[in-house]
Structure 1
Amino acid sequence: MAYYAALVSLLRTLEDSPQPMQHILSDLHHKVGCLLGILEVDSSRKSSLSIMDFEGRTRDASFEAQDIIESHISTDQQELSKSVSSGVCSCFWDIISALQHMFPAIHLCETWTDSIYQGMNLEVKGLKRVIRELDLILEAMSKIKDGKEEAPGAGNLWVAGASRSVAGNESAPVGLDQDLFHLKDRLTGSSSNLDIISIVGMGGIGKTTLARNLYNDPLIEDRFDTRAWVVVSQNYNVQEILTILVNSTRREGGEVHKKSADELAVRLHKNLKGWRYLIVMDDVWDVKAWDEVKRFFPDDNNSSRVILTTRQSEVAMYANHRSPIHHMALLSPKSSWDLLRETIFGQEDCPYALQEIGWNIAENCKGLPLAIVVTGGLLSKDSKEEDWKRIAQDVKSAIARNAGDQFMEILSLSYNSLPHHLRSCFLYMGVFPEDYEIFVSQLIKLWVAEGFIKPLSHKSLEELAEDYLSNLIKRSLVEVRRRNGNGEIKSIVIHDMLRELSVQKAQEEKFLLLRNSHRHVSPQGRNNQRRVSIHDFDTSDLDDLTVAHDNDVYTVVHDSYLHSLLCFRHSHSSFRVVPFIMSFRLLKVLDALTITFDEFPIGLVELVHLRYIALCFGGEGRLPESICKLWNLQTLVAYRRDLEDLKSDILYLPLNIWKMPQLRHLLFERGFFPYPFLAEVIGKDAVVLENLQTLSDVKNFPCTKEVLELMPNLKKLGISYVRESGTEWSFYEFNNFVYLQKLDTLKCEFISKDDGVGKHLPLKLALPQNLRKLTLQGCTISWENMTVIGSLPKCLK
């Protein structure tokens, strides 16, 4: 759940933040590490269920500790900015440490030191309270892990088994004609080897219905000597599985229910040996379940088959990596309507007056058969037109009101099976609006900024985030919308019903507050929220989250500890938005790209915890020098557009950008990136931007060896060159690209303002061997350079 991400985020805060309370923070760091160790190492289902009782306590304790530490840092930075020049970005506590180191024989004034540490007393007490709470949780969880004690209420936990009721459902295969045709061919094909056929898809998509129709097909029945069907589910029991399989395939009498698992396994192998068999293992969640039984399925080269249904591609690949996986697709609008009509009217015709409404209802189910069947159950052939119209207005709400628990239980199985580190990533999908195309590059940057990714030494945070996303895709929780030319995933989508699940779970766990016209936000629901996502944005919506004080200045009433604010509706009015944003002093993520600010909101530089900023603004088109105060900033997305008084679309970055070593991604539309060797003010204070991975799109960037060596881990670079009259292309030193050994993607656009000069560019190209994607626009390349490009082993030109 969200408590794992809360622990990881707290761990990151403890490791990244300079603090004077070393003994207390060291103790807290140790407790957090122990809790994460229990969650990661002890992955058995029993323990995972048992510790659920402590999730809320762990989450709240983590939040409290993080808020105490970050509030202290925020206050400390604000006091520092009052007493030292804006160009100095060192920590206040470093000054104290330096004085004590320089003058060990001189005791600091007692009154001064008392005033310094007086503000820490409450913070120390708060952290000690958190440590005591974590101690109690650790003690209880350790007992559960060792099997000495059960958690309170553990025996009442719901046991997964919803698909058992589905197994006997022989719904007509509406929209499954092609699936049936393809899989029948594999079941009856000429291959004599044992073939494991995996059917993969999200919950409720019809995997069991498809398998049941295959299993009961007369042709298939005649084809095989013996058949068996077993539902595995999440909390499977090996002895029960073997008992069902033996009972279904035995050719002689005798008791089996008293036999051990080993005896049952021997009997199963004997029952199947020499016979052509068909086994269906429905609803498999874990590769261990397959390992428990696969060795008892003999391969006698007689065309036996095993059908395996699962929501997880990894399970399917593990069962048979040599055989293609059958991925189920959502139903088309026509098939959706056919299924809805058949569910309600059977073989009878639908009245003409209801057909258009019914089509809309079916479309709003977004091709998910489970949603269509449940919705069909809410209607009948005697239902009035008003009932159909009411359901058509909001299908999800209609399902939630009438069949929400059962429906969501089936979908929740996928969420409950997620490992701890993926749950917050799935809950985060609720941040985005319905039917929103989620670009992977944006999502990964947000996950990293939110602190969901636990670092590993051999991979970057972004690479780990890509692995997390790949895992969600393999588990059929999100699906790929578009891929790049090199096959990499560019964007994803999440089905409306799964998104609804993520929103419900996120609200239950105080993970996310969603503000749109379809959801009423109660005052209680606003309390203690860490994230707010505004979809139907209007400045009047701020009244739901704030209260007016003193000349229309807005401050937060219910929660000053908001960490993330995301807006998804366009607005050109930012007068009330700026003070609203500024009231959240612990803000880490601000995605306000859909709001056009009149100028860069200078107050943002006081929000020292910001890790991610995305916004549009007008004015002079310059970022302030004081932006270096955002010492935590990882991602900056800054665009200039849609303003009538915009003098220039170029964004000028300050020299102090070279004092921000945490920067990972800088994205602009024609930004001017300063060169440190041109500025004496930078001097020895310039740092190597070793974390910088993305720089796009910058104008006329000279690729000198000295500059490129200050960005050694750059992976994506986008540059536009505008050649003025008299300027030689060689000035930009394109041959130095070779020094960017980590460069993965390079895009260069060439614009010549001298009409007398041709497009041919006599470039001396030298490119790194790891380059995979190269885009050159507005130019022609000599054959000599084409040879250089053609020799790149990984490049997609």
Structure 2
Amino acid sequence: MGGVNDLASSSTLIKDTWYDGRGDALLLEDADVVGIVKPKKKLIDWLLPTDQLGLKVISVVGMGGLGKTTLVKKVYDDASLKSNFDHYVWITVSESFKVEHLLSNIIRQLVDEVKKPPPQGLEAMNEYEMKEYIYKFLQHKNYIIVFDDVWQILVWETMRYAFPRSDTCGCIIITTRYSNIGNVACSENNRYVYELEPLPKEESKMLFYKKTFQENSCPLHLKEICERILKICAGLPLAIVVISGLLATKNNKMEEWELFGRSLGDEFEGENLKRMDKILSLSYYDLPYYLKSCFLYLSIFPEDNSVRVNRIIPMWIAEGFVHPKQEKTVEEVAETYLRELLDRSLIKLHETYSDGRPSAYRIHDLIREYIISKSKEQNVVAIFTGRGEMMWPNKIRRLALHTSVNYMEEEYDNLKYIRSFLWLGSEDAAEFAQVLEKVLANGGRLLKMLGLERAPIDTIPSKVFKCYLLKHLNLSYTDVLHIPKSIENLQNLENLNLSETNVTELPIEILKLRKLRHLIAFKSPDDPYMPGFGQGVKALYEIGSCLLSLQTLSCINAGEVGGIKIVREIGKLTQLRQLSITNIKREDGNELCSSISKLINIRVLYISSSSEEELMDLDYSLQSPNSTLPFLDTLFLNGRIEKVPQWINPYSLHGLTELRLLWSRLKEDHLVCLEDLPNLVQLVIVDAYEGEGFSFKAKGFQRLKDLTMANLRGMRWMRVEKGSMPLLEKLNIDKIKLMVEVPEGIEHLTNLQEVLFLDMSKEFLVNLEGQKSRGGKDWKLSHVPQISVFDVDMNGEWVEKWNFNQANS
């Protein structure tokens, strides 16, 4: 929704005097606001009294500039609520709040409403006395109290018991940038948390045009530049209003608009966008010291990129940004850093793992422009994007190249102190070789982080192995074929990423890298059901005796090396969090299970057989002291097993959230072994069952949200009993040719949001269309918002046959 912005007091951390402007949100006319109807209705529905008495807490959460204050103020002033509540109080909370001032303010507003003077001795009252006064005043009353722009959970914790909880319809509304504050405040009731989203594209345009041109259209010659600027604003109302206000002064002159668009990042450093800069600075300066560098470092990635957590965390660690804590690995500490940035709405969650942990995030384009500006100011990272002229700092410590740099020859002398280099440039091999040569020649001895993902390279330059301080080396998605013996020189190396390269064997010298924590060297197969898993590298002799710091080993070949069984060595790597192992044979089963039982820290486990026909005999009990793998959350079994291993049970794998069974060829219905796994969220069954049908029993799979069943050649039917899979949101049925009807009982899956049918039989598609056309009780999918059907044409290409969005019909 589009108000000017949020209201709060000026930060005490920003010393200069400036016009904040957040208070304008309280003065907006309805004509100045767009996109407010839907969220306003939702909040009013939550606020309206029900038959159930008690205190209701509602949180409105979102990044600065989304319009939280504007929304809540329009709700607060809505006439439809006035007759339902006796008292209204609005409190603006500053970052340096004092409890006594907040309580005193509440009392003054309450008595002012009933035309009474403040109680005698109010100034002399202590905190307890003021809370008691408020409690008695509001007892048996209906009231709304707003705490706007809350920065600390302490605000709610110190105020909560001032409000009666019974014989009343009390409503507290909290606006905050911090999702953890919003969730904690609402934890006692039904979790009324409204996460404010950016404006949709059309509403962004409406607000931008209205503020810039005072009408609902844009001059034709400015259409393209308007689109580019709106893309940067990305639905942030504050950004749209501030930037449109600035552009409204440029009299629609094309050259001035173009200049502004090209230099938008630089505008943060001048007067034009100072107000926007200050709003974002409130969040930046509120960061604890250990998050500031981590946050600014995110500017290293290009715009529109989704950045994976397992990519940024090793880089933070190599840079020395992550401070170890007792009882936690540095990787776990880094994950808490990312969680803090998410909680503060400074980055946005893009993808999650099956257990709910963040796996990828995005940065709002305008926040990215801000951190680029701030990073440049503090010389954290020098970023070359190819947009305009680059003013290089005298001492470049970190350099990210996003595009061609073949005309920046004269700037390479600034690289004497470089510590980190990230290549995201062109695919020109000659240019890359020239750039890397300069980086290694001038500053290679100080390098700690070298990121060469997708670089046009097939051989690692010898000078890389003279970077004795190097901690992080990423060669993923390159054509590198060979790792030389001189790798042993990199004694400080902690992270070596060779994923999707052509490397199939590692030199024995790698065993001398005793600090190595992450060794990633898989080559993915062309299989959508097995992401990040495939061909493994030849395992290393005595790996279990040498690389004791390993947390990630992905992916190694289980073949015997030097007379030593690798499956036996695995059990010595007790720090492992992630293990991928291929080429498992039947005779490896017992020792592999014995080794797995010793990996008490394992989180992710991928096991693959030597071939589709090879039987993996994994039906052994775990031999650890408590016979459990308490942290295992993801398990992939790729190969014939014929029987679900006995250690896959609710006791041993209590924390398992994702399970994939491929090629299993189970001879009987083994779902009974899986349905009681208490935390299973995602289940994928591909070519893993040879029976005629599946029956999902009542009370089974109580946490499952995502189910995929594919390539089940003998399966004809699927049945869902009432009470099974109550949380299921997504169902994929792929290439089950003998199935001619939708699953029986699918109407019981009331939480289902999406159903996808892929490469099904013609009879199935005819029956599906017939049921849809007849409607009524025949249409068992009437409750599903999104239904998609894809078929395969003669060229093996996917063709969309049906895409029905019932939510919008």
Residues 265-414 of structure 1 mapped to structure 2, 5 A cutoff: 268-269=134-135, 271-322=137-188, 323-344=191-212, 358-380=226-248, 383-384=251-252, 386=254, 403-414=272-283
Residues 540-555 of structure 1 mapped to structure 2, 5 A cutoff: 540-541=407-408, 543-546=409-412
Deviations 1:596-619 (A, max 9, x none): 223122221211100000125988
Provide the rounded CA distance (Å) in 2 between the counterparts of 1:668 and 1:716. 13
Which residue of the partner structure matches residue 516 of structure 1? 385
1:197 and 2:58 aligned:
yes
Provide the rounded CA distance (Å) in 2 between the counterparts of 1:355 and 1:516. 24
Which residue of the partner structure matches residue 783 of structure 1? 643
Provide the rounded CA distance (Å) in 2 between the counterparts of 1:544 and 1:229. 59
Q: CA offset at residue 709 of structure 1?
A: 3.9
8 Å Cα contact 1:161-1:233 kept in structure 2: no
Deviations 1:95-117 (A, max 9, x none): xxxxxxxxxxxxxxxxxxxxxxx
Give the partner amino acid of 2:540.
Answer: Y
Partner of 2:187, secondary structure, is: coil
Which residue of the partner structure matches residue 188 of structure 1? 48
Residues 251-650 of structure 1 mapped to structure 2, 5 A cutoff: 251-254=114-117, 259-260=123-124, 262=126, 268-269=134-135, 271-322=137-188, 323-344=191-212, 358-380=226-248, 383-384=251-252, 386=254, 403-518=272-387, 520-522=389-391, 525-541=392-408, 543-546=409-412, 557-571=413-427, 572-573=429-430, 574-582=432-440, 583-584=442-443, 585-615=445-475, 621-639=481-499, 641=501, 649-650=502-503
How has the CA–CA distance of structure 1 residues 709 and 655 changed in structure 2, closer, same or farther, with 3 Å as cutoff? same
Which residue of the partner structure matches residue 712 of structure 1? 574
TM-align CA RMSD: 3.4
Partner of 1:720, secondary structure, is: strand
How has the CA–CA distance of structure 1 residues 713 and 622 changed in structure 2, closer, same or farther, with 3 Å as cutoff? same
Which residue of the partner structure matches residue 36 of structure 2? 176
Q: CA offset at residue 393 of structure 1?
A: 5.8
Give the partner amino acid of 2:181.
Answer: V
8 Å Cα contact 2:576-2:601 kept in structure 1: yes
Provide the rounded CA distance (Å) in 2 between the counterparts of 1:238 and 1:164. 21
Partner of 2:173, secondary structure, is: strand
Determine which of 618, 633, 636 is the counterpart of 1:772. 633
Give the partner amino acid of 1:636.
Answer: L
Provide the rounded CA distance (Å) in 1 between the counterparts of 2:248 and 2:292. 38
8 Å Cα contact 1:374-1:399 kept in structure 2: no
Which residue of the partner structure matches residue 213 of structure 1? 74
8 Å Cα contact 2:399-2:420 kept in structure 1: yes
Provide the rounded CA distance (Å) in 2 between the counterparts of 1:783 and 1:631. 45
Provide the rounded CA distance (Å) in 2 between the counterparts of 1:319 and 1:774. 36
Residues 730-741 of structure 1 mapped to structure 2, 5 A cutoff: 730=588, 733-735=591-593, 736-741=595-600
Q: CA offset at residue 348 of structure 1?
A: 5.8
Provide the rounded CA distance (Å) in 2 between the counterparts of 1:284 and 1:174. 24
Which residue of the partner structure matches residue 661 of structure 1? 514
Which residue of the partner structure matches residue 166 of structure 1? 25
Provide the rounded CA distance (Å) in 2 between the counterparts of 1:577 and 1:715. 36
1:675 and 2:675 aligned:
no
Provide the rounded CA distance (Å) in 2 between the counterparts of 1:618 and 1:414. 38
The TM-score, its normalising length taken from structure 2, stands at: 0.69
Q: CA offset at residue 225 of structure 1?
A: 1.5
Provide the rounded CA distance (Å) in 1 between the counterparts of 2:549 and 2:381. 29
5+ residue gaps in structure 2? 1-8, 523-534, 623-627, 660-809
8 Å Cα contact 2:453-2:478 kept in structure 1: no
Aligned-pair identity in percent equals 28
Provide the rounded CA distance (Å) in 1 between the counterparts of 2:648 and 2:217. 67
- Considering Cα pairs closer than 8 Å and 6+ residues apart, tell me whether 1 or 2 has the greater RCO: 1
Give the partner amino acid of 2:187.
Answer: H
Q: Which moved more, 1:632-641 or 1:586-595?
A: 632-641
8 Å Cα contact 2:266-2:373 kept in structure 1: no
How has the CA–CA distance of structure 1 residues 537 and 691 changed in structure 2, closer, same or farther, with 3 Å as cutoff? farther
8 Å Cα contact 2:107-2:118 kept in structure 1: no
Q: CA offset at residue 469 of structure 1?
A: 0.8
Provide the rounded CA distance (Å) in 2 between the counterparts of 1:728 and 1:567. 44
How has the CA–CA distance of structure 1 residues 282 and 604 changed in structure 2, closer, same or farther, with 3 Å as cutoff? same
Deviations 1:620-665 (A, max 9, x none): 8332222122111100012565xxxxxxx33321112112111010
Provide the rounded CA distance (Å) in 1 between the counterparts of 2:65 and 2:196. 11
Partner of 2:292, secondary structure, is: helix
8 Å Cα contact 1:375-1:395 kept in structure 2: no
Which residue of the partner structure matches residue 693 of structure 1? 551
Provide the rounded CA distance (Å) in 1 between the counterparts of 2:621 and 2:411. 54
Deviations 1:478-518 (A, max 9, x none): 11101123322210111111112222222222211111112
Provide the rounded CA distance (Å) in 1 between the counterparts of 2:213 and 2:125. 47
Provide the rounded CA distance (Å) in 2 between the counterparts of 1:576 and 1:253. 79
Residues 241-252 of structure 1 mapped to structure 2, 5 A cutoff: 241-250=102-111, 251-252=114-115
8 Å Cα contact 2:250-2:257 kept in structure 1: no
8 Å Cα contact 1:591-1:615 kept in structure 2: yes
8 Å Cα contact 1:623-1:651 kept in structure 2: no
How has the CA–CA distance of structure 1 residues 676 and 48 changed in structure 2, closer, same or farther, with 3 Å as cutoff? farther
8 Å Cα contact 1:611-1:633 kept in structure 2: yes
Give the partner amino acid of 1:534.
Answer: L
Give the partner amino acid of 1:186.
Answer: W
Provide the rounded CA distance (Å) in 1 between the counterparts of 2:179 and 2:82. 28
Give the partner amino acid of 2:23.
Answer: R
Deviations 1:58-97 (A, max 9, x none): xxxxxxxxxxxxxxxxxxxxxxxxxxxxxxxxxxxxxxxx
Partner of 1:747, secondary structure, is: strand
How has the CA–CA distance of structure 1 residues 342 and 414 changed in structure 2, closer, same or farther, with 3 Å as cutoff? same
Provide the rounded CA distance (Å) in 1 between the counterparts of 2:217 and 2:414. 55
Richer in helix (by share)? 1
Which residue of the partner structure matches residue 691 of structure 2? none
8 Å Cα contact 1:734-1:764 kept in structure 2: no
8 Å Cα contact 1:167-1:231 kept in structure 2: no
Partner of 1:169, secondary structure, is: coil
8 Å Cα contact 2:539-2:556 kept in structure 1: no
How has the CA–CA distance of structure 1 residues 289 and 258 changed in structure 2, closer, same or farther, with 3 Å as cutoff? same
Provide the rounded CA distance (Å) in 1 between the counterparts of 2:390 and 2:221. 37
Deviations 1:564-620 (A, max 9, x none): 111223433343133223221111001111312231222212111000001259888
Provide the rounded CA distance (Å) in 2 between the counterparts of 1:352 and 1:622. 56
Give the partner amino acid of 1:688.
Answer: C
How has the CA–CA distance of structure 1 residues 260 and 708 changed in structure 2, closer, same or farther, with 3 Å as cutoff? same
Provide the rounded CA distance (Å) in 2 between the counterparts of 1:381 and 1:527. 37
Partner of 1:633, secondary structure, is: coil
How has the CA–CA distance of structure 1 residues 246 and 486 changed in structure 2, closer, same or farther, with 3 Å as cutoff? closer
Provide the rounded CA distance (Å) in 1 between the counterparts of 2:268 and 2:510. 51
Provide the rounded CA distance (Å) in 1 between the counterparts of 2:342 and 2:19. 22
Q: CA offset at residue 389 of structure 1?
A: 5.8
5+ residue gaps in structure 1? 1-44, 50-153, 547-556, 642-648
Partner of 2:93, secondary structure, is: strand
Partner of 1:283, secondary structure, is: strand
8 Å Cα contact 2:619-2:643 kept in structure 1: no
